[in-house]
Chains A and B, each alone.
Chain A
Amino acid sequence: MPYEVTAERIRIMAAAARVQLADESAARIAHAVTPTVARFAKENLSIPFETEPSTFTVVQRQDIGK
């Protein structure tokens, strides 16, 4: 897999979130999330600069009343 989440990344992020992890958990989490992170990264998104989360609501409601 070209993109791999490392246990080291997990340890740092858990510490930043102030959540204690068991020693073996970082490797487990890295293994669990790598397919999702890799698949999303592979999409190599080029989202229009002005797009924000609420753009979804605009798209969702464009047919209302038609």
Chain B
Amino acid sequence: MSAPLTDPALLTLTETAVAIRERKLSSVELTTALLKRIDTWQPKINAFVRTEADDALKAARDADAALARGEIKGSLHGVPLAHKDMYYSAGKIAGCGSKVREGWIAPTTSTAVARLEAAGSFRLGALHMAEFAYGPTGHNPYLGHARNPWDVTRITGGSSSGSAAAVAACLVAAALGSDTGGSIRLPAHFCGVTGFKPTYGRVSRANAMPLSFTLDTVGPLARSVDDCALIMEAIAGPDPLDATTIGAPAWDMAVASLSPRGLKIGVPTSFYVDDLEPDVAAALDATLKVCEQLGASIVKVDLPDQTAVAAAALIVLAVEATTAHAPWLRQRPQDYGAQVRARLENGLAYSAVEYLEALRWRGPALAAHLEAIGDVDVVIAPASRAVSPGIVETDVGGGSNAEATIIGITRFMRPINYLGVPTLVVPAGQSAGGMPIGLQLIGRPFGDETLIALGRAFQAVTDHHQRIPELP
């Protein structure tokens, strides 16, 4: 183990799970250490919307007692987790980062959380998020902005703002986020953690708050690829409550453990490599060299015009989000923050023909993407052209330039949701100022495990993912 057991909050998810199982660490010790660390960090970064200390400590005592009787629930036995406040747990508040759903008690439990609990984890609290997951920065006028643990004047990224900030600051070993237009990947990049957006249809979205049913995906943020794999093993697979998962393959940990030797890696010739800050470009170059050393071959790929793909994605997202929110938009528009209300109103602008053309084009667009990459296994691209910007400079509210600012920040994100392909973000460097840089490993449909395999091998020979921020 890379961290001493005397400081259990600094252990990774994998290390934690093993230490509890081997009774080198009790669930109560771990939970107590995390709650103490949350008390210290929360005033600085605003990562949690609530903690549930009493319930968590009771669950920890129960887990320890079960283990003492020789009963192990699963791979996450006794591990406290916290998730974006949009995953429903029956009887618990799920505020969805909003005033509209303030105090709303979920009547049922999301499939992803139920599966994590079946593996032995329990709930430590709920994590900050952009209002209704409809913002890429981490701003939230209702709950206060989440702040980046590496520099609290900068954004976390969103919408899984609390998930990324909490994992980066070691307040929780792993957390669920959701990704409709970059909401796992962008915060992972900005906060220096590992984030995984699975193939659309690989993880059930049942009883998680919807944003865009065509684009929504559920996935983990954690401090290593190993940790993401542990979460994926628990949550992936068909669920009768989510039709998009029916017929999807079960998670294959053997493939996720293969050597990357022989993989073919593609590097885009345009779009994802345009106008990069020098530090980001250097991280990309260095990562490609590591991949070559790991036995992968590197080729250039000419992807179809990603600006058209991004436009289609934005139309689908806007119309579906506005449709879902239409009743509240009619009845209580004043209860939305300015930015989210403005974006929901934008969704009124697209015609039915534009929306359905964007939906019908999704299959042909994916086919064109697959034809362009040929037999390439993984495309590597930056998550963003730059490191995390300041909170003040990106606080655009509902002004006339808000949409342009958002499109700029999410430029490298949106096409991937439209194509539905899996993408792993791994920390791959840092700027001269010490801010994290993440890269996207973009896979083929249902090639999730191949990304995990490559990411694991990359993290076995690099240490970018092991950096931990100091208390600001």
What is A's interface to B at a CB cutoff of 8 Å? 5, 9-10, 13-14, 17-21, 25, 28-33, 35-37, 39-40, 42-43, 45, 47-48, 51-61, 63-65
Contacts and interface: CB of A to CB of B under 8 A. Distances in A.
A13 B351 contact: yes
Interface of B: 199-201, 214, 244, 247, 249, 305, 307-308, 310-312, 314-315, 318, 322, 326, 329-330, 333, 342, 345-346, 348-351, 354, 356-364, 366-367, 370, 398, 400, 402-404, 407, 420, 444-447
Given A28-B342, A51-B360, 10 more contacts: A13-B351, A17-B348, A18-B326, A19-B330, A28-B400, A40-B358, A43-B311, A47-B364, A53-B214, A59-B363
Contacts, number: 128
A60 B326 contact: no
A40 B241 CA distance: 33
Nearest to B249: A64
Contacts of A60: 199-201, 363, 366, 420, 445-446
A31 B366 CA distance: 30
Contact of A36 (B214, B315, B402): B315
Contacts of A54: 363
Contacts of B333: 19-20
Contacts of A51: 360-361, 363-364
A65 to B, nearest CB: 8
Given A32-B403, A47-B360, A56 B366 contact: yes
Contacts of B446: 60-61, 63-64
Most buried by A among B201, B318, B366, B447: B366
- Max chain B C-beta neighbours (<10 A), residue from A9, A40, A65: A40
A58 B307 CA distance: 24
B401 to A, nearest CB: 9
A40 B315 contact: yes
B345 A36 contact: no
A64 B404 CA distance: 38
Contacts of B349: 5, 9-10, 13, 29-30, 32-33, 37
Contacts of B400: 28, 31-32
Which 10 A-B pairs give the minimum distances between C-beta atoms?
A55-B363, A56-B363, A32-B403, A39-B311, A56-B362, A53-B359, A40-B311, A33-B349, A60-B445, A43-B308
